[in-house]
Each structure stands twice: as structure tokens, then as C-alpha cells.
């Protein structure tokens, strides 16, 4: 079946896209407004896009009235935000923080979590998060009903229990978003598949070709 998105409603296209491009990491973003209220909200249109410098992207949709959500407004105003990663122990709190809280009420306090001081930005992070990334706004771009934010990571916060030799991350199992309306996945089932250099493929291919030429009697 072929589906032309131009013939669909935005809601139907959202369902298709978010159920096919999976799993997606969840950016649990803390921001702060000019009155000092800490906003906490999850976004799964999120990923890392560069390591030198360190860049990540978050796409934030507008409210039903067309205005930008509090997270986006706070990022634009302050130029700062923190991405906290969601592990299984924080899943319920993450889900609650997605509710449409009033601008003057902090989701962080409402869901029973605590602030922790950041190092490079003024916005606090989630104390209970196993990993958090402090970010400075690099740029933003309007994308229809969304605004794309590119942030530069300026500080990592990582639970000591996750760090192995040479900064290898161990036993970190964040939740992934699987699609609409409310599907998620665990990330505990993993396997390793090292990349093969072209020279090795060339040698393996040559060996395989030679062995196929040997007659069987």
C-alpha cells in the first residue's frame, strides 16, 4: 500500500510517522521562566546530531491555540535548557509531567521530584535522573506547527554507577518511545555487532569466492 501524506489529516500523518520511526529517545526537558518557575516536559522528537561540537535537536509542537509551548518559550527567552533521560524508575513521573499544567505551576514539584544545580547553565536538572545534559541554544527554526531547537551540550551529568573504563556507559537502560497514542519500549535487550572494515569484507569476499570454486566429489 502507498499512502500519500498530502491526502491525510495531520493527525493521521502523525500516527504513521511516530509509529514507524521507532524507537525514539525521550528528552525530558527542564527550563525556567523569568519568574523562576521550573518547567519539566517530555519530547520524543529528539536526538543527537553531532559530536564535534556536541549538538542535539528537539522539535517542540505548538499548543492548540497556535502559541509555542512553555518549554519552547523558555528556551527562546533564556537560551538554556537541560535534557534529562528517562529510565524505568521515572516513567510514571515522566507521564504525569506531560499533562497541561498551568505556566505558573512547576511539573517538577508536582510529580514529587527535586531540583539539582547545573554547572554551566542556570536551569536546574532533575536530581533523580541518572543522566542529564546541560545545553545552550545554538539556533532555532520554525517547521510548521513545530519549532526545531538545536542545542549545544555544555555539561554531562552521569551517575557514577554507569561509568566504566574509558567513559564506557554500563547498565544504562532509558525508556524509548514507540508511537501513538502511548506506546513505549524497554532498552534492556541488546546485542553487539562490530563494524567490518572494507578491507576485511574484501578479504572475506575473496575467500568465499575461492572456496566456491573448489569442486565437491
The pLDDT value given to residue 179 = 87
The pLDDT value given to residue 213 = 58
114 lies in some domain: yes
The pLDDT value given to residue 212 = 58
The pLDDT value given to residue 206 = 80
The pLDDT value given to residue 207 = 79
C-alpha cell at 64: 492548540
217 lies in some domain: no
The total of structural domains in the chain comes to 1
CATH number of the domain enclosing 178: 2.30.110.10
pTM higher than 0.85: yes
Provide the domain limits for residue 31.
Answer: 5-212
Find how far residue 125's CA is from the centre of its chain. Answer: 15
C-alpha cell at 34: 523569568
The segments of the chain whose pLDDT lies below 50 read: none
Amino acid at each position: 500500500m502507498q499512502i500519500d501524506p498530502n491526502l491525510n489529516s495531520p493527525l493521521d500523518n502523525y500516527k504513521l510517522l511516530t509509529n514507524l520511526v521507532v524507537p525514539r529517545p525521550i528528552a525530558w526537558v527542564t527550563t525556567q521562566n523569568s519568574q523562576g518557575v521550573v518547567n519539566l516536559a517530555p519530547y520524543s522528537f529528539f536526538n543527537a546530531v553531532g559530536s564535534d561540537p556536541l549538538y542535539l535537536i528537539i522539535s517542540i509542537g505548538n499548543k492548540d491555540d497556535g502559541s509555542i509551548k512553555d518549554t519552547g518559550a523558555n528556551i527562546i527567552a533564556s537560551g538554556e535548557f537541560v535534557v534529562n533521560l528517562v529510565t524505568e524508575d521515572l516513567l510514571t513521573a515522566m507521564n504525569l509531567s506531560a499533562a497541561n499544567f498551568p505556566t505558573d505551576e512547576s511539573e517538577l514539584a508536582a510529580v514529587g521530584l527535586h531540583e539539582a544545580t547545573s554547572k554551566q547553565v542556570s536551569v536546574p536538572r532533575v536530581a533523580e535522573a541518572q543522566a542529564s545534559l546541560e545545553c545552550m541554544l545554538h539556533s532555532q527554526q520554525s517547521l510548521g506547527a513545530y519549532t526545531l531547537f538545536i542545542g549545544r551540550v555544555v555539561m554531562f551529568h552521569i551517575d557514577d554507577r554507569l561509568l566504566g573504563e574509558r567513559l564506557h556507559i554500563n547498565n544504562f537502560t532509558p525508556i524509548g518511545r514507540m508511537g501513538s497514542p502511548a506506546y513505549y519500549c524497554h532498552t534492556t535487550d541488546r546485542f553487539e555487532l562490530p563494524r567490518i572494515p572494507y578491507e576485511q569484507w574484501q578479504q572475506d569476499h575473496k575467500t568465499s569466492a575461492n572456496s566456491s570454486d573448489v569442486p565437491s566429489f
